[in-house]
Amino acid sequence: MNQYVILVDDKDRMIGKEEKLTAHSNGGIWHRAISVFVFNDKGETMLQRRALSKYHTPGKWSNTCCSHPTPGEKSVTAAHRRLYEEMGFDCPMKYALMFKYEADVGKKLTEREYDHIFFGKFEGEPKLNPDEVVDWRWISLSDLKNEITEDPEAFTPWLRLMVDTISKKYADMAKEL
């Protein structure tokens, strides 16, 4: 079954839809995405290691979950849906920010995304979907920055691009979660 993403203009307004793989091919087309960063009471964020079968960036460490809303789906709804589908739990979330980026993700694919980022709060262990995730861990944002500096190729390109922005925004929002 084809999966479609929401194509957007430079103001993140929907201008159409496209099949997901096509939207990432040939230099990519700007589309809407979601990223979730779940934090625990210690202020650590939950990372996932992407399944080795993923069509891009397999085996790389990334934020708690990320995906795309489908046409007609709200970003917050997609965030809850994908968190449950990938990590096997759901939690309260707050919209944090929008992060626009472009990244080469290998295999001649490019991310060109208006990424709606949500922060959540959760204590516990996920129930991983093995088709999506092979491992997980909690990590402080400062340790994450250090690990990215030491071994950037172990992490997804979007996580490398947004870690500083996420750290600043989390410092502003931590008490709200």
pLDDT tens-digit map of 50-61: 999 999 999 999
Tell me how far apart the alpha carbons of residues 64 and 37 are, in angstroms, rounded to a whole number. Answer: 5
Q: How many CB atoms lie within 10 A of CB 80?
A: 18
pLDDT of residue 2: 82
Please compute the mean of the pLDDT values over residues 12-25 and round it to a whole number: 96
Tens digits of residue pLDDT in 76-107: 999 999 999 999 999 999 999 999 999 999 99
Domain boundaries along the sequence of the chain: 4-176
Q: What percent of the chain has pLDDT over 70?
A: 99
Query: What sign for the dihedral angle of Cα 47, 57, 148, 153?
Result: positive
Residue 26 above 80 pLDDT? yes
Determine the straight-line distance between the first and last CA of the chain, rounded to whole angstroms.
36
pLDDT of residue 148: 98
Residue 14 above 80 pLDDT? yes
C-beta of residue 120 within 8 angstroms of C-beta of residue 83: yes
CATH architecture of 4-176: Alpha-Beta Complex (3.90)
Tokens of 157: 């390109």
Q: What residue spans of the chain are helical by DSSP H? A: 20-24, 75-87, 141-150, 157-173
Tens digits of residue pLDDT in 29-72: 999 999 999 999 999 999 999 999 999 999 999 999 999 999 99
Show the beta-strand stretches assigned E in the chain: 4-8, 14-19, 31-39, 45-50, 61-62, 65-67, 93-106, 109-121, 133-139
Residue 1 above 80 pLDDT? no
User: Shortest CA distance to 32 belongs to which of 84, 77, 68?
Assistant: 68
Averaged confidence pLDDT in the chain: 97
Bridge partners (DSSP) of residue 5 are 18
Catalytic residues: 66, 113
What pTM was computed for the model? 0.97
pLDDT of residue 88: 98
pLDDT of residue 144: 98
pLDDT band per the 50, 70, 90 thresholds, residue 135 = very high
Tell me how far apart the alpha carbons of residues 69 and 82 are, in angstroms, rounded to a whole number. Answer: 9
